[in-house]
Amino acid sequence: MGAELPQETPAVPAVDAVRAAAARAGLVREIEASGAFDSDPAWREAFEEVPRHLFVPYYYVGTAEGYERLWGEDPDPGRRERWLRGAYADEPLATRVRDGELISSSSQPSLMAQMLADLAVRDGDAVLEIGAGTGYNAALLAHRLGDALVTTVDLDPEITESARRHLAAAGLRPRVVTGDGARGCPEHAPYDRIIATCALETVPRAWLAQCGPGARILAPMATGLILLDVQDGEHAEGRFLHMPAYFVPLRGGAREEDRMRLTGGLPRRALHSELFRFLLTLTRDVLDPHEALALWRREGKPARERFGVTVSGSDVWAWLDDPTGPYAWPLP
- Other C-beta atoms closer than 10 Å to the C-beta of 26 total 14
Q: Is the Cβ–Cβ distance between 183 and 205 less than 8 Å? A: no
Three-state DSSP at 150 gives strand
Q: Is the Cβ–Cβ distance between 69 and 82 less than 8 Å? A: no
The answer to whether the bond into 190 is cis (omega within 30° of 0) is yes
Three-state DSSP at 67 gives strand
- Measured distance CA(278)–CA(138) in Å, rounded: 28
- Measured distance CA(8)–CA(192) in Å, rounded: 34
CA dihedral (22, 28, 32, 34) in degrees, to 10, reads 110
DSSP-derived letter for residue 197 is S
Q: Is the Cβ–Cβ distance between 52 and 135 less than 8 Å? A: no
- Measured distance CA(180)–CA(204) in Å, rounded: 11
**Non-local CB neighbours of 161 within 8 Å, separated by 6+ positions:** none
- Measured distance CA(112)–CA(115) in Å, rounded: 5
Q: Is 314 labeled as catalytic in the residue annotation? A: no
Identified catalytic residue from 34, 39, 104, 107: 104
Q: Which residues does the annotation mark as catalytic?
A: 104
